[in-house]
Amino acid sequence: MPQRIEDASKVLTAGTRVGPYDIKALIGQGGMGEVYRARDTKLDRDVAIKILPAGLAADPERLSRFEREAKTLASLNHSNIAH
């Protein structure tokens, strides 16, 4: 489930912890946010975490789109897809 992070640009650097995730590096960024490589410490696996800009996270329609995207990606299983 989405977690709100205030001023993510200052918070998410290598070594930052967000819930059970240890942030490792910024993978990329675009109009829908930033994507980070992280380590899920509960499941002991690498994951990708997308952080929406505050303006988009406050928009119910954009947040709904983000949640649909996350559910769709979570249902996929391929060696080239980070979970």
**Whole-number pLDDT of residue 3:** 56
Query: Is-above-0.75 flag for pTM?
Result: no
For residue 1, pLDDT over 50 is answered with no
* Domain CATH code at residue 14: 3.30.200.20
Half-sphere exposure of 8 (CA within 13 A, CB side): 20
Tell me whether residue 38 is exposed, middle or buried, using C-beta atoms within 10 angstroms of its C-beta: 0 to 12, 13 to 18, 19 or more: buried
Residue 22 included in any domain: yes
Q: What pLDDT digit, counting tens, does each position of 25-53 carry?
A: 999 998 888 999 999 999 999 999 988 88
Per-residue pLDDT, 45:
92
pLDDT at 10: 54
Is residue 51, in this structure, part of any structural domain at all? yes
* Residue 80 in domain: no
What tokens does 44 get? 């002991």
